[in-house]
Amino acid sequence: MKLYTYHTPERTPANELPICAIAIDVLRATSTIAAALKSGAEAIQAFSNMDMLMEVSDKWPSELRLRGGERGGAKVVGCDLGNSPLDCTPEVVGGKRLFISTTNGTRTLQRIQDAKIVLAAALVNRQAIVDYVIAQEPETVWMVGSGWEGDYSLEDSVCAGAIADSIITKLNVPLSDVAGNDELVASIALYRQWKDNLLDLFYLASHGQRLVRLECFADLKFCATPDTLDIIPIQTSVGVLQAHSH
């Protein structure tokens, strides 16, 4: 198994796809996807474009749909939800399809949608993702961070490092056997430096600071806490993620 980290979807090699691709947008799209599916949402359907989201969700029965839209950290007007995982309670999302569009994470899902296996990972569901990847033994794994508008982000990189570090530990193999690129090595180093102080790292991160300005303190704490949700969001059709039954 070879593991690769790409800090943003724009950094992935053109015209190539891995066997397994993992979308990471810790603050907050993939944390929200994991939380919604854990709370019993029927599926998450992701769009990079708000107009397309409105058009497709209009065809869905209103009592079975929720619209989640976020731009610049704030909720989009006309949507039921923004991009907070804490809003995704069983009472709100249970049995419903959540149609979402976010600033960064939905672009990442779009880039990797044609890989054989597509997963959504955050720190909250790291262990479930690790166990799934080890069980599947894919030859190539890309962990694709969402960054912020094309730029690097600490929280996505540290999450890729957390997943890779756990895979290496569980397989009991040297890093040299699995490291596919330099970013993978860098993301593991970042995780090992900060693993006991992830929330502090999130407060340092530029998007973390953006969320602090929006007073999203509870979201930051939730998203910085690893292994709280035993859920594997897996793509079942293009742009649609459902809970893998394991």
**Alpha-carbon gap, residue 8 to 78, rounded angstroms:** 29
Q: Return the CATH number of the domain spanning residue range 2-241.
A: 3.90.1560.10
**Alpha-carbon gap, residue 214 to 183, rounded angstroms:** 30
Contacts of 150 (CB under 8 A, 6+ apart): 8, 10
**Alpha-carbon gap, residue 83 to 128, rounded angstroms:** 22
**Alpha-carbon gap, residue 136 to 4, rounded angstroms:** 16
As given in the structure block, the two tokens for residue 59 are 């065809």
C-alpha angle 141-142-143 in degrees, rounded to nearest 5? 120
Q: Identify the helix (H) or strand (E) that includes residue 141.
A: strand 140-145
Domain ranges of the chain: 2-241
Give, for all 246 residues of the chain, the pLDDT tens digit: 999 999 999 999 999 999 999 999 999 999 999 999 999 999 999 998 899 999 999 999 999 999 999 888 788 888 999 889 999 999 999 999 999 998 787 889 999 999 999 999 999 999 999 999 999 999 999 999 999 888 999 999 999 999 999 999 999 999 999 999 999 999 999 999 999 999 999 999 999 999 999 899 999 999 999 999 999 999 999 999 999 975
Query: Cβ distance 160 to 143 under 8 Å?
Result: yes
Comparing CA positions, the residue from 51, 110, 145, 103 lying closest to residue 238 is 110
